[in-house]
């Protein structure tokens, strides 16, 4: 296998993520990070291996750093994996909505 093919294979396995754009949670246009909807730490657990495909485990969204940090400060990895596996569920949570509303008023970097 040549070097170019190895790089293409490695690149195709990583989720595509925009580096800059609109965060779907706070609606700010800023730099974005990749948030796995089912946290990577949970991927090796039997429940998730049995009930989700590799593709489903790799699914995620591009969100801003402030929203990303708030999500992980508010809920454990297990809580996120079991109860917040979609953008809609993240937005519907009252505690997270308060945080996303606060973030939406913060200065963009």
Q: How many domains does the chain have?
A: 1
| Inside any domain, residue 85 | yes
Q: Rounded to whole angstroms, how far apart are CA atoms 25 and 84?
A: 13
Query: Which residue carries 């708030």 as its tokens?
Result: 70
Q: Rounded to whole angstroms, how far apart are CA atoms 85 and 99?
A: 18
Instruction: Compare 107 and 99 and report the one with higher pLDDT.
Output: 99
| Dihedral-angle region of residue 21 (phi above 0 means left; psi in -120 to 50 means alpha; beta otherwise) | left
Q: Do 109 and 30 meet the contact criterion of CB atoms below 8 Å apart?
A: yes
What is the pTM assigned to this prediction? 0.77
* Mean of pLDDT over the chain: 85
Q: What confidence category does residue 48 fall into, taking pLDDT thresholds of 50, 70 and 90?
A: confident
| Inside any domain, residue 9 | no
| Inside any domain, residue 40 | yes
Residue 55 structure tokens: 């593709």
Reduced to 3 states (helix: H, G, I; strand: E, B; else coil), residue 78 is helix
Range of the domain at 44: 16-104
């Amino acid at each position: 296998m040549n070097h170019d093919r190895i790089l293409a294979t490695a690149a195709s396995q990583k989720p595509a993520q925009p580096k800059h754009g609109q965060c779907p949670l706070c609606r700010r246009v800023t730099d974005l990070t990749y948030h796995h909807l089912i946290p990577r730490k949970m991927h090796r657990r039997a429940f998730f291996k049995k009930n989700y495909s590799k593709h489903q485990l790799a699914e995620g969204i591009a969100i801003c750093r402030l929203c990303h940090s708030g999500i992980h400060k508010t809920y454990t990895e297990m809580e996120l994996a079991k109860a917040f596996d979609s953008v809609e569920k993240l937005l519907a949570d009252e505690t997270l909505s308060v945080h996303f509303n606060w973030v939406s008023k913060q200065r963009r970097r």
